[in-house]
Chains A and B, each alone.
Chain A
């Protein structure tokens, strides 16, 4: 038990006194984005932009303490993929994506959201899936002052790229699963 993380809720209940089942439930919910990790309770002065943080504490029954608070609207991979799938089925105001764009978007999301490649728990703000006028897919995330766009061209000859923007910087990246995962990390970091 000593090596297990202890989860504290946002209202300050100490996880070490909670049942193992309760901890597992919290951990599970954190992974799907119901909570994000914060440090308000321990530090007293919550860093405004910190979304996940582990810090060692001298608790008798736990070595690592994680404080959880309700996360902003977030989704896991299945919900992200279901948004892309929905476009193929036809969504109001949207062009039906090409199969080329659909396959590329699905593959990139599948890779970038893979639990094996993400820190646990990992918070990804809810994405918005839309299309351009020729059937390319555009995935958009916003988090605080940051904006991230993954643009999947409708055809091979059309551009597929990442665009990122914050108050301090903006730019473009090539788009694949790995680069998208890195930019999602950037999106949620301070």
Chain B
């Protein structure tokens, strides 16, 4: 996808959709969807795609994946988070024309209760909108 055609990073609107690519097939099940919102090792935020259609999110993320969940910016940033004892809200920080991070979620090694709680909160406002097996395209092959 040509980033230049979409434009630069921009501020979000409340109704902007964010797309979380689902790496595991089991996460398509609502009971297991919270697992999709746990930070991985070394991650500083949850990767989401924006400024794109749900159908393109897997291509934008270019990850082996099984589907896409949709959230909206407004409800995400209305979620209270507790970071090192301080009440705050989740934020969405764009770092590329189609990619942003949901920040404010601790890793389970840092604060397991808050990490699990926030994963549940995000899953409750997420909807699985795409179920599609996608295999990433290696650079040079695509």
Give the segment of A22-30, A31-39, A43-51, A155-163 that binds chain B. A155-163
Assess whether B109 is in contact with A159, with CB atoms less than 8 Å apart.
yes
Report if A134 contacts B (CB, 8 A): yes
Assess whether A93 is in contact with B113, with CB atoms less than 8 Å apart.
no
Report if A58 contacts B (CB, 8 A): no
Chain A residue numbers with a CB within 8 Å of B112 are: 151, 159, 161, 163, 172
| A147 to B109 CA separation, bound complex (whole angstroms) | 20
Chain B residue numbers with a CB within 8 Å of A149 are: 116
Partner among B31, B35, B41 whose Cβ is within 8 Å of the Cβ of A138? B35
Give the segment of B18-26, B49-57, B91-99 that binds chain A. B18-26
Chain A residue numbers with a CB within 8 Å of B66 are: 93
Report if A59 contacts B (CB, 8 A): no
Chain A residue numbers with a CB within 8 Å of B32 are: 128, 130, 140
Assess whether A93 is in contact with B35, with CB atoms less than 8 Å apart.
no
Report if B120 contacts A (CB, 8 A): yes
Assess whether B24 is in contact with A93, with CB atoms less than 8 Å apart.
yes
Assess whether B113 is in contact with A170, with CB atoms less than 8 Å apart.
yes
Chain A residue numbers with a CB within 8 Å of B113 are: 163, 170-172
| A132 to B66 CA separation, bound complex (whole angstroms) | 17
| A97 to B34 CA separation, bound complex (whole angstroms) | 20
Assess whether B117 is in contact with A170, with CB atoms less than 8 Å apart.
yes
Assess whether B34 is in contact with A147, with CB atoms less than 8 Å apart.
yes
Chain B residue numbers with a CB within 8 Å of A140 are: 31-32, 35
| A8 to B40 CA separation, bound complex (whole angstroms) | 49
Assess whether B25 is in contact with A93, with CB atoms less than 8 Å apart.
yes
Chain A residue numbers with a CB within 8 Å of B10 are: none
Known contacts A93-B23, A142-B31, A147-B34; A165/B120 CB under 8 A: yes
Which residue of chain B has its CB nearest to the CB of A92?
B25
Assess whether B108 is in contact with A159, with CB atoms less than 8 Å apart.
yes
Assess whether A133 is in contact with B41, with CB atoms less than 8 Å apart.
yes
Assess whether A151 is in contact with B108, with CB atoms less than 8 Å apart.
yes
A118 to chain B, nearest CB (A): 23
| A158 to B108 CA separation, bound complex (whole angstroms) | 9
Assess whether A165 is in contact with B41, with CB atoms less than 8 Å apart.
no
Report if B38 contacts A (CB, 8 A): yes
List residues 140-190 of chain A with CB under 8 A from any CB of chain B.
140, 142, 147, 149, 151, 158-159, 161, 163, 165, 170-172
15 A-B contact pairs sorted by A residue (CB < 8 Å): A92-B25, A94-B24, A128-B31, A132-B38, A132-B40, A140-B32, A142-B31, A149-B116, A158-B109, A159-B109, A163-B112, A165-B120, A170-B113, A170-B116, A172-B112
Q: Which 3 A-B pairs have the closest CB atoms?
A: A163-B116, A93-B24, A172-B113
A130-B35, A171-B113, A172-B116 provided; 13 other pairs, C-beta below 8 A? A93-B23, A93-B66, A132-B38, A133-B41, A134-B41, A138-B35, A140-B35, A147-B34, A159-B109, A163-B116, A163-B117, A170-B113, A172-B113
